[in-house]
Amino acid sequence: MGHGWEGVVLKLMRGRDFTFTVTGVEEVTEHCRRVRFTDGGMLAETGVHPTMWVRVWFPGAGRPHQRAYTLVDPDPADGTFGIEFALHEGPASRWAAAAGPGDTVPATVQGSAFAAPEPLPERMFLIGDRASVPAVNSLLSALPDVPATIWLETQHAADEQLPLRIRPARHEVRHVPREGDGARLVAEVRDALPGLLGDPAGAYVWIACDTATTRALARFTRKELALAKPQVHALGYWRP
């Protein structure tokens, strides 16, 4: 399967192509399926960092479609990882629902980067949704001793069952049903975050929701709470 004009652009931007092979699947919830892969040599070449993501290509309507996914438990020694797929309409979901051992899919690595804040923050505030759960878990694993408050927007009641690598003594999770195209999440974060910050200089805020919600919360933290640019990481994961 060719990658079309998007693939040409990514290649010009030094994207690197690999082929992933399915080794197994598991149902995380009724709306989420985890597919495990071998990496085609990717991790040995790229290394691994928290929140690492790749662009995966899926066929649909006679042309390729690329979607970005965060890696789950990447293991460079074994060359393996997982990807969690939300099950809904769309070429990626259809592919994941039918995937089985031996199936292959092309992917491109371009654009993924993350560096832990230095010095380590006194407290983290992680704001995401079901698509960003793998990235949230990677941050909790990479910075296990940093206390964190986590807001997760849910599409379905089952989303509250998505596995989170929390330590109850250090991490608080707040589930927020998706309402008003993200308006409820924005309102709840705006209401609660100022009182939780403590010393603003010790805070680190990580935001990965739909694009509009991410922009609204990034503006709030930077302009109204006056957090410095290195204290806020914001990336819109998807568009409604």
Q: Domain-by-domain residue ranges, the chain?
A: 4-109, 123-234
Q: 3.40.50.80, 3.30.750.24, 3.40.50.150, 3.40.50.300: which CATH number matches 123-234? A: 3.40.50.80
Nearest-angstrom CA–CA distance, 116 and 112:
14
Q: Taking the model in full, what pTM does it have?
A: 0.89
List strand residue ranges (DSSP E) for the chain, in order: 16-29, 32-38, 53-60, 63-70, 72-75, 80-86, 104-109, 123-129, 148-154, 171-177, 203-208, 232-234
Identify the CATH number of the domain defined by range 4-109. 2.40.30.10
Nearest-angstrom CA–CA distance, 46 and 109:
8
How do the pLDDT tens digits run along the chain, 240 residues long? Answer: 456 545 544 554 467 999 999 999 999 999 999 999 999 999 999 999 999 999 999 988 888 889 999 999 999 999 999 999 999 888 999 999 999 999 999 999 987 888 888 889 999 999 999 999 999 999 999 999 999 999 999 999 999 999 999 999 999 999 999 999 999 999 999 999 999 998 999 999 999 999 999 999 999 999 999 999 999 999 887 776
